[in-house]
Amino acid sequence: MSNAGCIFLPIHATAINISMEGILLQVEQPLEIHSQVRLCLSKELGHIDLAANVTWQQYNNFGCEFVDMAEEIRAVLDHVIYRHSQFGRLESLDIGY
C-alpha cells in the first residue's frame, strides 16, 4: 500500500509508541472509540498506510489496534518498530478519520 490510497482529510498525530499489534497516538482532535482510522506513514517510515481500530483514550492519547495487515506491511512495520526503539518518538504522521 502507499500513501496514494489516503484520500481523506488528514488529522495530524504523533506516534508515542508502536508495536506489531498497535500504536499509541497523541492527537489534538478527539477520535471516537471503536472507530477505524487510516494511518499514513511517511516515506521515511516505510511509505505505507495501515488500518487501525481506536480501542481506548486517555486525555489526548488514543490506543489503536492494527487490523488486516498484509505480510509485506508487517515486514515494513517491523523496521519502523526497530527505528522507534533506537530513536524514541516517531516522526509526525497523518491519520484519516
Look up the CATH number of the domain holding residue 39. 2.40.10.220
pLDDT digits (tens, 9 = 90+) for 47-87: 788 899 999 999 999 999 999 999 999 998 888 788 767 76
The domain containing residue 80 runs over which residues?
3-96
The count of domains in the chain is 1
Give residue 15's Cα distance to chain centre: 7
Q: How confident is the model at residue 92 (pLDDT cuts 50, 70, 90)?
A: low
| CA–CA gap between residue 24 and residue 9 (Å, rounded) | 20
Report the candidate in 51, 40, 36 with the shortest Cα–Cα distance to residue 90.
40
Q: Number of helices (H) and strands (E), helices first, in the chain?
A: 1, 6
Q: Return mean pLDDT, the chain.
A: 81
Place of cell 489516503: 6
Residue 13 has pLDDT above 80, yes or no: yes
Which one is predicted more confidently, 67 or 2? Answer: 67
Instruction: Let me know: does 88 contact 2? Beta carbons within 8 Å.
Output: no
Query: What average pLDDT does the segment 20-36 reach?
Result: 92
Torsion of Cα atoms, 50 then 56 then 58 then 64, to 10°: -10
